[in-house]
Each structure stands twice: as structure tokens, then as C-alpha cells.
Structure 1
Amino acid sequence: MVYAPTVLFSLGEGAVIPLIPVIATRLGADVSLAALVAAALVIGQLCGNLPAGALVAKVGERVTMVVAGVLSIAAGVGMLLAEHLALFAASVFVLGFCAAAFGLARHAFMTTRVPPRFRARALSLLGGSFRFGVFIGPFVAAALIQLTGSEQSTIWALIVCCAAIVPLVLFGPDPEKSSPVLLKPTGAAVAEDSGEVVTGSIPTRDRYGVLETISYYRGVLMRLGLSAAALSAVRSARQVIVPLWGVSLGLDASTIAIVVGVSGAIDFALFYASGQVMDRFGRIWAALPAMLLMGAGLIALSFTHDLDQATMWFALMAAVLGLGNGLSSGILLTYGADLAPETDPATFLGAWRTLTDAGGAAAPVVIASVVALASLPVAAGLMGGVALLGAAGFAVWTPKFLPRREH
């Protein structure tokens, strides 16, 4: 019950994500506008963090995830029936909004209930649940396209997965009622600093609003938080650039889905290794190699578009990006949990996820602008540079803000 709803949601989302730019082009978008439509997913996720945090605090995980599941079905129906680009983009936005609700509910649950000694592995497994969908989803998409001849068939996969989530969450056992809240330093289960064992929802007493929290923790957010935002931006850029690169090379939709799926397979294979590295050797030993690999992959890809073997280089660099992203599984979740206040993590996690999702939301907009003004290879090279800057930030600021035993 902790991971299964996440797997189902990510499976449906993973089937649709690679085809969002393709469907957008079918509805009349050019390459730059298709990138902007793809950006609606991460923009929706950014806008959904604060309402999702408030909903989790008020009604708990279960109701939040049911609401998100129902809205995801509505978003899928909107994408399926869209005959105009505006409705399609709005539906993609709602899907991103729902993704924020799923992600924040599980992040808050893990932060308060998983002991620090294996926190990175638990959160990497949560990240791996998302990656499982990214791994399987594109292959499901390719199979459906081959069977039906329509990209819209992938949207049905999203609707079916979300329809399965609602009864699972409603009628399955509630992990909130069986898992005690733990204090981070001692592992003692407490609520309101009273020493009493509690079950149920995470602590919801807000000492600061989101804006006050951002101000209070501005040091870590402006340093390590910006490095995390850079990682989120590069991840988002990977999701946009790889399908667009296939479109720009003239590849068909099923081929693009397979390349994305292979990249996702490499990504998925490494998710637990990332948690092992972070728990055993320190957070930086996963963050730094991940950023360097993705930065190098994007920069190398930017020089291959017009080569004779452009398709081969496209598949190879997609694999390198999958490798780098796999090494980063659970990093943003783990850093957020490590840095959150011990007994009042909700508002900090809202601020942390808003900042990191802002990086993810900004990247497709930047890519669309650079493609319109210059070219797709220039956009890939630019995002590679962002990855290298983020790597430098992690190297400098992780030792400052996380004790040696944490990082």
C-alpha cells in the first residue's frame, strides 16, 4: 500500500509522457510549441505542491490520493477528447497537478516514518516506483500504438491505471494507521513533542506558512536547494529533449517510445543502487556522478544532430542520460527528508518541492524558447551546462548543510 499506488500512477503517466510532444504536433504545434505543451506537465506539478500539502495536512494521504486519482481520470478523458491544442495542454497540466499530490503524500509519509539509517534506500525505492512506470510505460505505449495505429491509445492506459488506483486506495489497508510517526534523531514515536506514541496522519501543525518557511530556511534553499532545482531541471529537460530529438530526426512514434523505454530501463535498474550508495557512503556520492553523467550526455548529444549516424548517437546518449538519472533516484526526496525540521516537516517539504519543481517547470520553457530562437542542439548543450553547474553546487554545499554521517 505504500508503493503500489505510485507504481500504477507512474505506469499510466509513463505511457503518456513520451507521446505528449508527438500528440501536440498532431494537433498543430511546431517543435517549440510542442515543448511548451510538454512543460504543462511539470508546471502543473509545481502549482500542485502547495494545495496538495494543504490537503494532506487536512484530510490525510488516503483522501488526497483518491482525489488525485479521480482528477487524473478526468485529465485523461480531456486528453482523449481534445481536438484543440489548448484543451490538450490544460489536461496535461491537470495530470501534473495530480502527480504532485501523489508525490507529496508519499514523501511526507516517508519523512516522518522511516528511520534515518535506511532512509535513502526507502526513498530510492519510492523513486524506483516512479521509474518503474517510466520503464514499462513507453513499452506499453509502443505495443498499443502498434496494435491500434493511434497515439491516443496510450491515454487509455493512463485512464485504466488511475481507475485501478481509486478502489485500491479506498479499500486497501491504510499505512498511516499502522505506522507510527518517528522523530528523526532518536527514532522515538512522538506527536507535538509530548512523547506520546501516535498513529494516523503526519504532524500537521504549521509553525510557519510556506513563505515564512522559505524565508527562515533561505540559506539552505538558496544554496543546496538551487543545486537540487538544477537536478530537477536536467531531469525535466531529459523528458522533453529525448522525444523532441526523435521527432526532429524524423523517427516514428513507436521508435521514439522504444528509445525512451530503453533509457527508462537503464534508469530503473539503478534505483536501489542509488539508495545503497547514499546510505553507505554519503549523499554526495550519488548526486555528483549523476549530474556529471547527465551533463556530459546532453553536451555530447548537442554535437550529433547532423552526423551520418545521428540515430545511433541519439539512442546511445539517451542510454547515458538514463544511467545518470538512475544514479540520482531518490536524491531529491532524501535531501529534503534530511534537511526537514524534525517534528514539523510539512511546510519545509512544501517549500523544498516547490523550489525543485520550479527547476523542472522552467526547463521545458527554456528549451522551447531556445529552440525557437536557435535550435534543439543549442538547447541540449545549454541544459548540459546547467547540469555541470548543479554538480558544482552539490560538491560545495552538501558538506556544509549535511553532517558527515548524513551525506
Structure 2
Amino acid sequence: MSSAAPFRLGSVALPVYLPSLLFAIGEGAVIPVIPVDAARLGGSLALAGFISALIMVGTLIGDIPSGWIVAKVGERNAMLGSAVAALLGLVLCLVAAVPAVLGVGVLLIGIATASFALARQAFMTTFVPRSYRARALSLLGGMFRAGYFVGPFLAAAVIGLTGSTRAVFGIHAVACVVVAIVLLVLPDPSAVLAERRSALLTDTQAIRVAEAGGTEREGLFRTIARHRSVLARMGLAAALIGGLRSSRQVILPLAGVALGLQESGIALVVGIAGAVDLALFFTSGQIMDRFGRLWSALPSMIGLGLGHLALAVVVLVGAAGSPTAVAWFVAVAIGMSLANGVGSGILMTFGADLAPRHDPAPFLGAYRFTGDAGNAAAPLALSALTAVFSLSAAAVVIGAAGLVGAGLIARWVPRFIPRAARA
């Protein structure tokens, strides 16, 4: 039997991927209604936007300590704790009578999301061999993307049935309860794969594993200090990747407004683009495992950078309501989604390649913080540049940053993730 056999995920795929899909569906449902509920509670548009951003702020706050938590209690316990923490946040959202209470609930959901996502990535890093790691992680990323795609449609259905936006928080609450049940009822994949691996080890290999397992854990801050070079360089690349992705989600609706499209038309274009993005998540993993990480990361960053530049031209020269301008807008939106889809799972794969395999969680927490920082910073930068200059100018700056990021990836990936490590 091949040494890789105990690591195949087929028999544990359900407990590995189902909790992530359920959690993402719940979160994808509540994200669109957070600003609506904040405004219903009397918050201004600015306050509603701030409360919406707290879910990302919570994720940033939770990224680094979640690495310590996962290392201490294990992946399944961390996911169970995250589901309970998210449930507490949702209860606050459901009973909130003032925007401040809603904001605390949203912040808690974001913190829980950080620990939940990192726990599953740490499992993948520990157990999945490099030869098909990217496919496994791309599939994990696809579960989150599928959840964020399905969630808003489910929210719309619930609102249509109940006439209440607040009822949508119940979707995520139910999802968290089901996640906890799934985690408790189905076998722990970490335990299953560890047992299989131990059963196939020779005596010498078992001694080496035991020695590695007995190695003292470095802890959060020592891990960050030891890996500060790779975190600084690859972390910057991760921040730029995250920034380009989150900017795409914001700039497409803004460009649609600038071109005079109706809300329904913008939603249709964004929905089609999201479907294109979702359809490519496993293809990305195939590319990375067969040809190397650069063949996914570079086309994705270059495509997103050029897409922002093309969008700047469309907005700058396109007349509002012009069929030609709208056609170009649709083409650019789909092109950017293709670029984003080709890079599906790249951040998690980079993190898994770079993290120490015996104790990945502290490193992954710090690494995920950099990507999430880019996710949070890019929309703010886009808004500021648009306010000071114009939407086209903002698109040019962010597009140029994407091309710079592609250059950094081309420079640093071969250094920190050599070809031999990708085989």
C-alpha cells in the first residue's frame, strides 16, 4: 500500500467539508442584511456601513489568537467553540434593540469565523500531502464560496416568507447548531487519519513521529519571530491578493452605478460573475498541483490587475446607459471572475506550504492575518481614492497594485516555496 494511502480524504470528506459549507451558507445569508438591520435600528448610513465592516474587523482580531487556540485544543474543539461563539453573536443580533448591541454581535461572529476557518486549514496542512494539497484546499475554499453564493438566495427566500430581515439571523443560528451536531456525530477526521497513518508506519517511522510529536511547541510569538522573513514577504503578497479580491466585490457594483445600470441589472451581472468564479475552484487546485503554484497565482493577480485597469477605462469613457459600455462592463466583470476563480485556494495553499507541519496553527494565524488585512484595507482605500479623485483613478491605483503584487509573487514564491516542495 502506498504511504499516501492513509491520507486520502474520501472516507472523511463529509466531516471535513460539510461543516465549512454549512457555516459559510449561514454567514453568506446574514452579511447582506447586517446594514439593513443596522439602519432599521436607527443607525445612519455611515454607522450601518461601520457595523457591516465589523465582521471583517472581528476576523482580523481573531486571526492571530485563533492559531494559539487551535494549537491548544485541537481542530474539532476549536470549530465547536467557534460555532458556539457565533451562535452567541447571533443571539445578540436577534435581540438587539440598539445598533451598539448589533455591532457587538457582528464582531463576535467575525472572531468566530477566524477560528473556524483556521482550524480546518490547520487540519489540511497537517494531513494532506503536497501532491494533492492544492486540490483539497481549493475544494475547501469552494465550500466557502458556495456558501457565500447560496446564502443570499436563502436569505431572500426567508425574507419573502417572513417579511422580516431579522429572521435571516436565524439561518446562521440553525447552521451553527447543525455544524455542532455534525462535528459531534461524525468521526473526527484528524483522529481517523492519524490512526491510519500510525497503523502503516514502520517501527522506525513510529519512533520518528513520536519524537516529532514530543517536540516542544514554540508558541505564538516565537513562531512569528522565527518566521518573520517569510511572513513579511509572503504576507505582503497575501495582503495584495486579498486586497484585489475584496476590491473586485466592491468596485463592480460601483462601476455598474456609474454606468447607469439599475439595481436589478447590477445584481444580475454580479450574480453571473459569482457563478463563473465558483465554477473554477477545483480547476485552480488541479493547476497548482500539476504545474505549480505560480501557474495559478500569477494569472490570477495579472488578470485582476488588468481587470481593474480595464474597468477604469470603461467607466471613464463609457456613457451612462450606453449598450456598448454595459457590454464591456459585463465582459470585464466575467474576466475578473475568471481571474479570481483561477486563483481559488491560493492563499490557503501558500499558507499550508509555508507552515511548519507539526504545529501549523500559530503560523497560519499570523499568515491569515495578512491576507485578511488586505481584504479589509482595499475597500477602504477604494472608497478614499474615489472620494478624493474618482472611481476610475481608484481602479487604476488598485490595478497597478495588483500588477506589482504579481511581480512580488514571481519573485518570492520560487524562493519560499521551491519547485521540489510542490511536487
For the aligned pair, the TM-score class normalised by the smaller chain equals 0.7 to 0.9
CA distance in 1, matches of 2:421, 2:388: 43
Query: Where does residue 57 of structure 1 map in the other structure?
Result: 71
Q: Is the 8 A contact 2:118 2:361 kept in 1?
A: no
Query: Where does residue 320 of structure 1 map in the other structure?
Result: 335
Query: Where does residue 320 of structure 2 map in the other structure?
Result: 307
Q: Which amino acid aligns with 1:278?
A: M
> Aligned ranges for residues 56-135 of structure 1 at < 5 Å?
56-135=70-149
TM-fit CA distance, 1:208: 3.3
Partner secondary structure for residue 419 of structure 2: coil
TM-fit CA distance, 1:35: 4.9
CA distance in 2, matches of 1:247, 1:148: 30
- Structure 1, unaligned runs of 5 or more: none
Query: Where does residue 353 of structure 1 map in the other structure?
Result: 368
Q: Is the 8 A contact 2:67 2:363 kept in 1?
A: no
Structure 2 residue 188 is the aligned partner of structure 1 residue 174:
yes
Decide which of 298, 302, 305 is 2:308's aligned counterpart. Answer: 298
TM-score normalized by structure 1?
Answer: 0.85
Q: Is the 8 A contact 1:36 1:365 kept in 2?
A: no
> Aligned ranges for residues 257-336 of structure 1 at < 5 Å?
258-305=268-315, 307-309=320-322, 315-336=330-351
Q: Deviations over 1:248-275 (max 9, x none)?
A: 76854x7665544333221111011000
Query: Where does residue 240 of structure 2 map in the other structure?
Result: 230
RMSD: 3.4
Q: Which has the larger radius of gyration?
A: 2
Q: Is the 8 A contact 1:340 1:349 kept in 2?
A: yes
Aligned residues: 399
Q: Is the 8 A contact 1:274 1:326 kept in 2?
A: yes
Q: Is the 8 A contact 1:21 1:243 kept in 2?
A: no
Q: Deviations over 1:213-263 (max 9, x none)?
A: 3332222222222111110122222344445666776854x7665544333
Structure 2 residue 399 is the aligned partner of structure 1 residue 389:
no
> Aligned ranges for residues 193-272 of structure 1 at < 5 Å?
194-196=207-209, 207-242=217-252, 251-252=262-263, 258-272=268-282
CA distance in 1, matches of 2:206, 2:383: 48
TM-fit CA distance, 1:319: 3.0
TM-fit CA distance, 1:34: 5.2
Identity %: 46
Q: Is the 8 A contact 1:35 1:244 kept in 2?
A: no
Q: Is the 8 A contact 1:341 1:348 kept in 2?
A: yes
CA distance in 2, matches of 1:61, 1:191: 28
Structure 2 residue 25 is the aligned partner of structure 1 residue 11:
yes
Q: Which amino acid aligns with 1:164?
A: V
Partner secondary structure for residue 208 of structure 1: coil
CA distance in 2, matches of 1:81, 1:211: 38
Query: Where does residue 3 of structure 2 map in the other structure?
Result: none
Query: Where does residue 380 of structure 2 map in the other structure?
Result: 365
Q: Is the 8 A contact 1:290 1:327 kept in 2?
A: yes
Q: Is the 8 A contact 1:135 1:262 kept in 2?
A: no
TM-fit CA distance, 1:191: 13
Query: Where does residue 338 of structure 1 map in the other structure?
Result: 353
Q: Which amino acid aligns with 2:290?
A: R
Q: Is the 8 A contact 1:189 1:195 kept in 2?
A: no
Partner secondary structure for residue 87 of structure 2: helix
CA distance in 2, matches of 1:83, 1:246: 34
CA distance in 1, matches of 2:101, 2:392: 29
Q: Is the 8 A contact 2:67 2:220 kept in 1?
A: no
Q: Is the 8 A contact 2:235 2:370 kept in 1?
A: yes
Structure 1 window deviating more from structure 2 (340-349 vs 391-400): it is 340-349
TM-score normalized by structure 2?
Answer: 0.82
CA distance in 2, matches of 1:331, 1:232: 10
Query: Where does residue 165 of structure 1 map in the other structure?
Result: 179
TM-fit CA distance, 1:330: 1.2
CA distance in 1, matches of 2:342, 2:314: 24
Q: Is the 8 A contact 1:193 1:343 kept in 2?
A: no
Partner secondary structure for residue 308 of structure 1: coil
Q: 1:109 to 1:203 in 2, by over 3 A?
A: farther
Q: 1:154 to 1:103 in 2, by over 3 A?
A: same
TM-fit CA distance, 1:93: 2.1
Q: Which amino acid aligns with 2:271?
A: G
CA distance in 2, matches of 1:179, 1:270: 28
Decide which of 41, 46, 59 is 2:60's aligned counterpart. Answer: 46
Structure 1 window deviating more from structure 2 (130-139 vs 105-114): it is 130-139
TM-fit CA distance, 1:4: 0.3
TM-fit CA distance, 1:338: 1.1
Partner secondary structure for residue 180 of structure 1: helix
TM-fit CA distance, 1:80: 3.9
CA distance in 2, matches of 1:124, 1:304: 32
Q: 1:295 to 1:204 in 2, by over 3 A?
A: farther
Q: 1:347 to 1:54 in 2, by over 3 A?
A: closer
Q: 1:119 to 1:72 in 2, by over 3 A?
A: same
